[in-house]
Structure 1
Amino acid sequence: MQSELIHDSDFGRYLEDFKEGMVIRHWPGKTITESDNNLFSLLTMNHHPVHLDQHYASEATHGQVLVVGTLVFSLAVGLTVREISGRAIANLNYSEVLHHSPVFIGDTIYAESQILSVRSSRSKPDRGVIKVKTTVTNQKGEKVLSFLREVLIPKKN
């Protein structure tokens, strides 16, 4: 499979720009700070001490504060916007969200997406749907998250 790293493309792609099997390495990554994790925890009402209390977390399974899993997922989706959904009409669904390994404060996450399928809309000829699998790794190359999504994308003409 061919991998593509894009730095200077237009924001988003049209349906015709996606090819089944295409692999896109999203850049840049995102280093998750304590402030990111604290703010997300508080905004989403996830006040579990394993995400906010260093002393509590130090005595828990991983021995340190865990980044909230939904923050990792949200950041991963955000990392893909430029190349996957920048021109999207809608994100239709997310499925098979799997947390493979924990993410800690100070970890940097990177995303890579594979286009699983590309099809024209059955009801509207000016658009189509792509199915994408995104895999997220940390700075050590360890897989931390993966998910599938389907995105409604406009055609060029």
Structure 2
Amino acid sequence: MKPSIMGNYYEDFEIGAVIKHQLSKTIFESDNNLFSLLTMNHHPVHLNVNYCKDEKYGEILVVGTLVFSLVVGITVPDISGKAIANLNYEEINHLGPVFIGDTIYASTTVVDKRESKSNTNAGIVYVETVGMNQKEEKVISFKRNVLIKKQEAL
């Protein structure tokens, strides 16, 4: 059996490449409830079926930061598994609602990359990730810079 490989080295990233991540996650009511409790987001639109009946979508909405966290997690084996650090996240856009029972998928485009000025053993990879539901509707997008180890530094 071949051991799994967590992440890619800086040299593996090619500008313009699109990575369709293999991981996915169906969001269950327990996921949303636990995340709401852990993060102290007790808004009834995330927790109260009766309240939601009179709101725009008529059902519980999954907490947006849970969707963000899941999509970041889905990308780890391909994007940040060999990262030294995620340097920043930017342009986080919630593009559509996510409901209990939706399954989340993601893809990432390598936008740019450059050598690190402060760490000669690493480079910075700039990526844009899009999260979609099971209907292939975009539900979230964000960009980030990731400081990633160089293979030649080993």
Correspondence for 1:120 among 103, 111, 115 = 115
Correspondence for 1:64 among 47, 52, 59 = 59
What is the aligned-residue RMSD (CA, Å)?
1.0
Distance (Å, rounded) in 2 between the aligned partners of 1:110 and 1:123: 34
1:5 corresponds to which residue?
none
1:139 equivalenced with 2:134 (yes/no): yes
Q: SS state of the match for residue 93, structure 1?
A: strand
* Structure 1 runs not aligned, ≥5 long: 1-7
Query: Which moves more between the two structures, 78-87 or 117-126?
Result: 117-126
Distance (Å, rounded) in 2 between the aligned partners of 1:104 and 1:134: 20
Identity %: 59
1:148 corresponds to which residue?
143
Name the aligned partner's letter for residue 101 of structure 1. G
Shift of 1:123: 2.3
Instruction: Report the number of matched residues.
Output: 150
Distance (Å, rounded) in 1 between the aligned partners of 2:102 and 2:117: 42
Distance (Å, rounded) in 2 between the aligned partners of 1:28 and 1:20: 22
Which segments of structure 1 move beyond 4 Å, counting only runs of 4 or more?
A: none
Name the aligned partner's letter for residue 116 of structure 2. S
Per-residue Cα deviation, 1:77-128 (whole angstroms, up to 9, x for no partner):
0000000000100000000000010000000010000000111111221101
Distance (Å, rounded) in 2 between the aligned partners of 1:59 and 1:123: 53
2:14 corresponds to which residue?
19
TM-score computed with the length of structure 2 as normaliser: 0.95
1:110 equivalenced with 2:110 (yes/no): no
